[in-house]
Amino acid sequence: MKVVHYSAGSVLIGDDAADALLDYAAALARRSLAATVELTTIASGLTGTTKFLVGPASELVAVPTEAFEDEPDNAAVVAEMRRRIADLDGRPDARAL
């Protein structure tokens, strides 16, 4: 699990989701684009949804942590972010990342 810090606070998400979120923000920034991403997160011990605005001005930090909660399931969103990263980078296969 990782703690993702952003302008309004911080949330817990799985490693894959945190890494994909930062990679997607970087890919968008390279093209001067922005997008929103909705992820299932844990904040204050409660599972919910957090909507992130990512792009050139994103200020996100992901820090590993030892959390006792199960990671939220964001597999579909992670796969979609990886696909979009591949599209932005002109690569046909997101698995190349």
User: Locate tokens 């949804």: which residue?
Assistant: 49
Tens-level pLDDT at each residue, the chain (97 residues): 999 999 879 999 999 999 999 999 999 999 999 999 999 999 988 999 999 999 899 899 999 998 887 899 999 999 999 999 999 988 654 443 3
Q: How far from the centroid of its chain's Cα atoms is residue 74's Cα?
A: 9
With a CB cutoff of 8 Å and minimum separation 6, the contacts of 6 are: 52, 58, 59, 60, 61
